[in-house]
Amino acid sequence: MRYPVWRPAVFACAASLPLYWLYLGWQFALGPDPGKVLVDNLGEGALVLLLLTLSMTPMQRLTEWGGWLAVRRQLGLWCFTYALLHLSGYLYFLLGGEFSRLGEELRERPYVLVGGLGFVGLTVLAMTSSRWSMRRLGKRWKKVHRLVYIIVIVVLLHMLWVVRADSARWFLYAGTGVALLLLRVPVVAAALDTLRGIRGKSGRKLK
- List residues near ligand HEM by CB under 6 A: 36, 39-40, 43-44, 46-47, 50, 83, 86-87, 90, 94, 112, 115-116, 118-119, 122, 155, 158-159, 162-163
In the complex with ligand HEM, which residue's Cβ is closer, 70 or 112?
Answer: 112
In the complex with ligand HEM, which residue's Cβ is closer, 57 or 158?
Answer: 158
In one-letter notation, the amino acid at residue 44 is E
Q: Half-sphere exposure (CA, 13 Å, Cβ side) for 203?
A: 0
- Tell me how far, at minimum, the Cβ of 163 lies from ligand HEM, in Å: 5
- Tell me how far, at minimum, the Cβ of 65 lies from ligand HEM, in Å: 27
- Tell me how far, at minimum, the Cβ of 20 lies from ligand HEM, in Å: 16
In the complex with ligand HEM, which residue's Cβ is closer, 46 or 75?
Answer: 46
In the complex with ligand HEM, which residue's Cβ is closer, 72 or 158?
Answer: 158
- Tell me how far, at minimum, the Cβ of 105 lies from ligand HEM, in Å: 8
